[in-house]
Amino acid sequence: MTGPVRVDVHMHLYPSAASGDWWKTGYEIWEYGDKDGVTFSRFSGTVADALAAMEEAGFSHGIAVNLLSVDLFREEALAMLPADLHGDDRAKAAAEIEATMAERFRAANRWLVGALAPIQQLTPYVGVDPWALSPSQNVEHLREMAGRGARGVKLHPVAQRFAPNDPRMRPVYDACEELGLVVLAHTGSARGGEPFAEPSAFAEVLRAHPRLVMVLAHLGGGSWRQTVELALAFPEVTFDLCEIVEWTGAPNAPTEEDLARMIREIGPERVMLGTDFPWYDLGRTVELVMGLPVLSTGEKERILGANAVGRLALEV
Q: Work out the pLDDT band at 89, boundaries 50, 70, 90.
A: confident
- The whole-number pLDDT of residue 56 equals 98
Residue 126: φ, ψ to 5° = -90, 160
Contact 129, 68 (CB under 8 A): yes
| CATH number of the domain residue 107 falls in | 3.20.20.140
Once rounded to an integer, what is the mean pLDDT over residues 124-142? 97
Residue 316 pLDDT > 90: no
- Which residues span the domain enclosing 296? 7-310
Contact 186, 197 (CB under 8 A): yes
Residue 74 pLDDT > 90: no
Residue 184, SS3 per DSSP: strand
Once rounded to an integer, what is the mean pLDDT over residues 301-312? 98
Residue 203 pLDDT > 60: yes
Higher pLDDT, 22 or 43: 43
Higher pLDDT, 70 or 265: 265
What's the residue count for the chain? 316
Whole-structure pTM value: 0.94
DSSP state of 45: -
Q: Is residue 40 part of a domain?
A: yes
Mean pLDDT computed over every residue of the chain: 96
Residue 1 pLDDT > 70: no
Once rounded to an integer, what is the mean pLDDT over residues 89-107? 88
Residue 273 pLDDT > 80: yes
Instruction: Provide the pairing of β-strand 238-240 with 182-185.
Output: unpaired
pLDDT tens string 206-247: 999 999 999 999 999 999 999 999 999 999 999 999 999 999
Q: Work out the pLDDT band at 50, boundaries 50, 70, 90.
A: very high
Residue 8 pLDDT > 90: yes
Residue 290 pLDDT > 80: yes
Once rounded to an integer, what is the mean pLDDT over residues 118-140? 97
Residue 205 pLDDT > 70: yes
Q: Is residue 153 part of a domain?
A: yes
Once rounded to an integer, what is the mean pLDDT over residues 58-75? 92
Q: Is residue 72 part of a domain?
A: yes
Once rounded to an integer, what is the mean pLDDT over residues 62-71? 93
Long-range contacts, stretch 89-97, CB < 8 angstroms, 24+ apart:
none
Q: Is residue 152 part of a domain?
A: yes
Q: How many domains does the chain have?
A: 1
Q: Is residue 2 part of a domain?
A: no
Q: Is residue 139 part of a domain?
A: yes
DSSP state of 247: S
Contact 61, 40 (CB under 8 A): no
Q: Is residue 1 part of a domain?
A: no
Q: Is residue 285 part of a domain?
A: yes
Residue 75 pLDDT > 90: no
